[in-house]
Structure 1
Amino acid sequence: MKITALLVLKSPGDSSASGGEQQQAVVLANASDVSHFGYFQRAAAREFILFVARTVALRTPAGSRQNVLEEYQKTFGESWRTTKTDVTQPWQYLDDALTKYQDPAEADKLLKIQRDLDETKIILHKTIDSVLARGERLDSLVEKSSDLSISSQMFYKQAKKTNSCCTIL
C-alpha cells in the first residue's frame, strides 16, 4: 500500500469552540505525493486528503501523537500554538518519512522479518532439493559401478535402509 500524504495538524481543543460552531483543524505541515493519480484527479485527491486529515485530527485525542509534536517543536518552535490558519511550511522530516514508508517492510518490522523468513524458506527448499538430487545420482553411480565390491554395495544398501527413517517425504 502506498502512502499518499503525511500532514501535521493543530486540532482545536473542545473548550476553544465558540458557540455551537466547531472549529477546523489547522494544517501546520504537509507532504504529499499524488503523482500516481491521473492529472485531472490530483486536485480532487488533495482536497479529499485534506478533508480526511481534518476529520481524523478532530477525532484524535490530544497528546496521542507526542513524537510528531516533539519533532515539530524542534524544527519550528512554539509558533504552532498561536496559528489560526493553514500554514504549509516545508518540513524535511515529513518528506523523508513519506519516502521511507513507501515500502511497507520499512515501516513494519514484523513484515520485514516475515519477508526475510520467506526468502530463507525458499533457499532452504532449493538446498534440500539439490541434496535429494545428489542422493539419487549417488544411487545410480553405485548401481553402475563395477569397481565396487559386492560387500561395498551391500554396505551402501544396508546404510541406506538404516537411515531411511530420516528421509524427508
Structure 2
Amino acid sequence: MKLSAGIEQAIHSVTMMCGLSGDGVLSAASMAEFHGVSASYLLKHLQALSVRGILETVSGPKGGYRLARAPEAISLLDIVLAVEGAEPAFRCQEIRQRGPNPLPKQMFVRPCGINAAMLRAEQAYRAELRKITIAALISDLNDTDDGSIMERGCRFLALHERKPTPKC
C-alpha cells in the first residue's frame, strides 16, 4: 500500500502546531516553508484536516491553522482518513466473475476470499494507526531528541506564530 506524500506533510504539520500558544496559529505558507513542500498541496490537506475537526481555521490577515483537539485526541488514523478518505485501500471488483466462460452466479454466494483477507489486513492496519496519537509521537521525539529538533521548531514558531488582534 502506498500513501500519498500528503500524509507525511499533514502529520508533521499537526505535530508542529502542538507547539503553538493557546491562541496562536500558523499559516499554511509558513508550514510549507518549514517543511520544504508545496504550499498549495499542503493547503489542500490542511483544509481536509479542518473539515474532519482535527484543525481549526482562523480567518483574517493574522489567520491560519491550529489544533481543534488535544494531541492526545488525535490519532494517526484520524489524519490518514482525513487526507486519504475512508475508503479501504483494496476495493474488490469481483473479477472472479468476469472473463470467458463465467460460472453461474450461485457459485459466488460466499464473499471473495481475497477481498476478505485484504479487509482483515486493512482492519489490523487501521487498528495500529488508531493506537498512535500525536501526543505519543511527541513523547517519543522528546525521548530521542538531543534538543536540536525541538529547538529548530521552537525558533521557527517564535518567528512565524500569528496571534489574533484583540477586538477592542
TM-score for both structures, normalised by structure 2 = 0.26
Relative to its length, the structure with more helix (as a share) is 1
Which of the pair has more CA radius of gyration? 1
